[in-house]
Structure 1
Amino acid sequence: MNVRENVDGVVIGMFLGFRGGAPLVVFPSNPHDHAIPARSLCALTADDAGSEIALLFEDGARDRPLIIGRIVEPVRQNTAPQVIHDGKTVRINAQERIELRVGKAAIVMEKDGHITIRGTHLVSHASGSNHIRGGSVNLN
């Protein structure tokens, strides 16, 4: 097996835990057949054992690994609206706005509380009282 003496660039390895307070790592082209102690630029805990890590090597020496960070999954924002249906109620939660559209009709709800109802004809029916409340009510 032909292995270079010095390592250039980042190598992906694995953090296995601690021995004597030093993090133990394994990586491809490890000069030993066991985990070796490393220095670290980031805080690691026992819970991180088994995590992939990015390594550089002091002076390019394979026996002097330096952990520069733990590989993490990028945080993905859930942009899809959340729909909850319990048999009695359907609840739709969204971050910015919800729009219901059919043909020329639309109901738009904004996160700031602004609600717009548009259509060619709007009809309100009530078998009881029909209340319109607001800080001010403008008709035409």
Structure 2
Amino acid sequence: MLLSEGDASPSSPVARRIEGVVLGRIAGIHASGAVCVTFPGAPEQGFAARTTTPFAQEDEGREVALMFEEGDPRRPIVMGKMVSPLATGATEAAADGRRVEINAAEEIVLRCGESSITLTRAGKILIRGAYVLSRSSGVNRIQGGSVEIN
């Protein structure tokens, strides 16, 4: 990272020009989707940032790669989310247009609102929701070592 004196006044919180990539964090995400980031040398509240990828509330605090428009630290651009090398090999996904397969070492969770489907390494499948419907035009079969209803 190359720092040089910029056009900003010396009294501004960040008065240096930044060249290259800087690691920062998502400091906040507004309901409209606007992102605020912080990075070394930035004020605690951070700066509003433009981004190349969408973010959700659960991304708050996530480490991101930043660049700066015309080197101005007050104009950050989020280039992308940082991915842990340890997590990269733990989950795999493949799609060929007819089938999607997701593999994980411990657990896979599909979640939407208050509903979820969890697959565990031990072979358990947990389905949770406020309303669960099982419908079939053919036979609807329940089979297991034992079956408990209510």
TM-score normalised according to structure 1 size: 0.49
- For the pair shown, which has the larger CA radius of gyration, 1 or 2? 1
Q: If the length of structure 2 is used for normalisation, what is the TM-score?
A: 0.46
